[in-house]
Amino acid sequence: MKTLYICYFGLREPLVQTQVLPYLRHLSKVGIGVSLLTFEPNKRDAWSAQAVSEWEARLQTDGIQWFSLPYHKRPSIPATLYDIMAGARTAARLMRQHGIHVLHARSHVPMAMALMARRMVRCRLVFDIRGLMAEEYADAGIWSENSLPFRVMKRLERAGIRKSDQVVVLTQKMRRWLIERGLAGANKIEVIPCCVDFSRFTDEHIEGNGKSSGRFEMVYAGSVTGLYLFEEMGRFFLALRAAQPDAFFRVLTNSSAADAADVLQRVGLDDKDFWIGAVPPEEVPRHLRQARLGLSFRKPTFSQIAASPTKIPEYLAAGLPVVSNYGIGDADDLLEKEKVGVIMRAFNDQEYARVVKEALSLLRDLEIQTRCMAVAREHFDLVNVGGEGYHRVYNRVEEKAAMTNP
Average pLDDT over residues 210-230: 85
Residue 182 to residue 52: CA distance in whole angstroms = 44
Give how far Cα 303 sits from Cα of 50, 87, 161, 381, Å: 42, 27, 17, 25
Q: In which domain, by residue range, is 80 found?
A: 2-194+381-404
Shared-domain flag, residues 231 and 356: yes
- Rounded to whole angstroms, the maximal C-alpha distance in the chain is 69
- Amino acid (1-letter code) at residue 241: R
Q: What is the pLDDT of residue 404?
A: 74
Shared-domain flag, residues 260 and 183: no
For the chain, the average pLDDT equals: 94
CATH number at residue 189: 3.40.50.2000
Q: What is the pLDDT of residue 179?
A: 97
Confidence class of residue 15 from pLDDT cuts 50, 70 and 90?
A: confident
Give residue-wise pLDDT tens across range 330-359. Answer: 999 999 999 999 999 999 999 999 999 999
Average pLDDT over residues 284-304: 95
Average pLDDT over residues 384-399: 95
Confidence class of residue 209 from pLDDT cuts 50, 70 and 90?
A: very low
Shared-domain flag, residues 366 and 395: no
Shared-domain flag, residues 159 and 91: yes
DSSP 8-state symbol, 228: B
Number of folded domains that form the chain: 2
Shared-domain flag, residues 230 and 166: no
Q: What is the pLDDT of residue 403?
A: 80
Confidence class of residue 204 from pLDDT cuts 50, 70 and 90?
A: low
For the chain, percent of residues with pLDDT exceeding 70: 97
Shared-domain flag, residues 186 and 230: no
Average pLDDT over residues 369-383: 96
Q: What is the pLDDT of residue 240?
A: 98
pLDDT at 42 over 80: yes
Sheet holding 189-191, edge to edge: 64-71, 33-41, 2-7, 102-106, 124-128, 166-169, 189-191
Shared-domain flag, residues 205 and 172: no
Q: Which residues of 179-202 are buried (b: 16+ CB within 10 A; e: fewer)?
A: eeeeebeeebbbbbbbbbbbebbe
Average pLDDT over residues 294-305: 96
Shared-domain flag, residues 126 and 144: yes
Shared-domain flag, residues 164 and 234: no
Confidence class of residue 214 from pLDDT cuts 50, 70 and 90?
A: confident
Residues 6+ apart with CB under 8 A from 145: 134, 138
Which range is least confidently modeled, 60-64, 75-79, 343-347? 75-79
Q: What is the pLDDT of residue 281?
A: 84
For the chain, percent of residues with pLDDT exceeding 90: 89
Phi/psi for 278 (5° steps) reads -95, 145
Shared-domain flag, residues 202 and 176: no
Residues 6+ apart with CB under 8 A from 2: 32, 33, 34, 35, 98, 99, 100, 101, 102
pLDDT at 13 over 50: yes
Which range is least confidently modeled, 95-104, 212-221, 235-244? 212-221
pLDDT at 206 over 60: no
pLDDT at 213 over 80: no
Shared-domain flag, residues 260 and 120: no
Sheet holding 216-221, edge to edge: 274-277, 247-252, 216-221, 293-296, 322-325, 341-344
Closest among 279, 286, 126 to 202, alpha carbons compared: 286
Q: What is the pLDDT of residue 207?
A: 53
The DSSP secondary structure of 354-385, one letter per residue, reads HHHHHHHHHHT-TTHHHHHHHHHHHHHBIIII
Whole-prediction pTM? 0.92
The residue ranges of DSSP E strands in 153-246, in sequence order, are: 166-169, 189-191, 216-221
Q: What is the pLDDT of residue 309?
A: 94
Q: What is the pLDDT of residue 401?
A: 84
Confidence class of residue 118 from pLDDT cuts 50, 70 and 90?
A: very high
